[in-house]
Chains A and B, each alone.
Chain A
């Protein structure tokens, strides 16, 4: 039907493995597609088809069950009090803040892909940015729950905001905990705006293809009347660039501010200057692992293998390798500084972290975060679907334990041995943690089903056919055809 002439450049159909590096030639980002309509059809098919893969229903029911359990655990907590958690006198933060830091960290990969890779002109981001950003938003929603419910008297949680109250008192703005309120809520708002801005043209596509009245009105309202006007695209692109430029320092600041919650305190094991960069690297590390965990089944289930190609996954695995090594470096520098500082409490805190009562958590953390990701040095593993899926799960586990180790091992054994104690989680602790995965997966599955999972307009724009000079010199200079530049 379409009359877009196929370029005589790279014979894309023959490229099944686009992970190979050919100097002077750009690897294609979209496989087996020459027409813009192919992209539209492939992506919209998921949201338009009446029948969804059985696996989706199974996953959805399962996630909904976990979400219900989360609701139950929270209701029980509210009705009874924070005593239902395994907290004790020195260990007043445990699973709650571990989950908070874990989920906020997961979010960082989405913003990195959407903002930082955009500024670096990494065109391969277009295949994965939409659902990575969705993942960011859902992860920050999960994260936001925990500080909200851990305060004990949840009915006065509005005290964290500068709202006039009956005590005529204000939040204490010199506390990192309050900076965190502002950092995380700004992060959520800006991520949501960025995600939605990117989605408006794709919602317009869904609106234009919609058959039923409900779909037309639903997608139509959220598409805001977008009609692809080039005068609009001009402002849109500028706005997109601005949002990327604003999100870049923001994403680096959020986990830095989260790390201030610990680093600004006096506790050995927390009071370290390496925390901000170390937390940011860890956040990106865990976030990319989560993107891989989600991308691998999603591209299989919804037939998106030509858009989320092996090269995209390969690139993400390289980022996991880099950030994982950074995290490993940070672990070793912490030990060096603990020794070099000469402070006995500092030295003890780190020896105790590795060999004390939580040695097993430390062991899980190091083996999952530092040792196993090194397997990504091998291309065979980076490009193996099962290999990367299993490794990404291992990284997710490892990064959860990292936060657990930092928080609990430092609190449990502080300055005074008489006040030491051990934290043992209760079923409510564990249920709330697992339940938060239910919330995350429920939101993500709904997103996959009803929204454009891939940024169609952006993918089309990086296809070689999108270059206005594509027809002019399709016969000469192959390498001038747009494509991956990673």
Chain B
């Protein structure tokens, strides 16, 4: 998606009030209603819009046309990195006498114990497995929130009292003002045509 700058006519319309308009929000009561509404918003050609629901609504991704996330690809490579780090760590520390610089100079120690082979790959498997899982899980967790643009302390939507129920039992569609098709009145009329409980303008504070 390309970055869209505000067109002059829209700036004019949104600067009617002193604070800028963030977007137009419509409230729905059931998953079924927001699903039908989302299909219509998508069909109307809006691109900077979102649904806010208290739980993931099955099928809403398709209705909104969200493309699959790239997250698993990163997680795969993170896991692979973990495997290699673990092998390298164990082989270096227990089977070599090399000196390498890893923030400080460290030297391997060929550790002969119970006559076990120095480079004992089967014995290295458990730690390789654990570090694979560890790095994958850390990446999954961290990257999911980063890709979502979280954590963040504030968001314009949090200024709406109505929106408090988005984490409880109500379903919201928000069309952002930066969408090229956004016109304050026209978008409001469009959302009202989707038979919501209410439509509200959200200000960008």
Contacts and interface: CB of A to CB of B under 8 A. Distances in A.
B23 interface: no
Interface string A183-206: 100100110011011000100110
A35 B163 CA distance: 18
A164 interface: yes
17 contacts: A170-B93, A170-B111, A171-B93, A182-B131, A189-B134, A201-B54, A201-B167, A227-B52, A230-B56, A235-B144, A238-B72, A239-B140, A243-B141, A253-B130, A460-B54, A461-B56, A471-B33
B30 interface: yes
Interface size class of B (residues with CB under 8 A): 35 or more
Nearest to B145: A224
A228 B167 contact: yes
Interface residues of A, number: 74
A139 to B, nearest CB: 19
B61 A235 contact: no
B32 A472 contact: yes
A36 interface: yes
Contacts of B134: 186, 189-190
Interface in A1-44: 2-5, 35-37, 40
Interface string A456-486: 1110110001111111100000000000000
Interface string B122-133: 011011011101
Given A189-B138, A246-B137, A36 B51 contact: no
Interface stretch (A172-180, A360-368, A380-388): A172-180
A249 interface: yes
Interface centre among A5, A178, A227, A247 (most CB of B within 10 A): A227
Contacts of A250: 130, 133
A50 interface: no
Contacts of B111: 169-170, 172
Given A225-B153, A232-B148, A162 B133 contact: no
For the complex of A and B, the 8 pairs showing the least CB-CB separation, nearest first, are A224-B151, A36-B169, A170-B93, A239-B144, A179-B126, A225-B152, A174-B123, A230-B51
A231 B64 CA distance: 9
Interface in B78-128: 89-90, 93-94, 104, 106-109, 111, 113, 116, 120, 123-124, 126-127
Given A174-B123, A242-B136, A460 B55 contact: yes
Contacts of B75: 242
Interface string B24-48: 0000011111110000000000000
B50 to A, nearest CB: 5
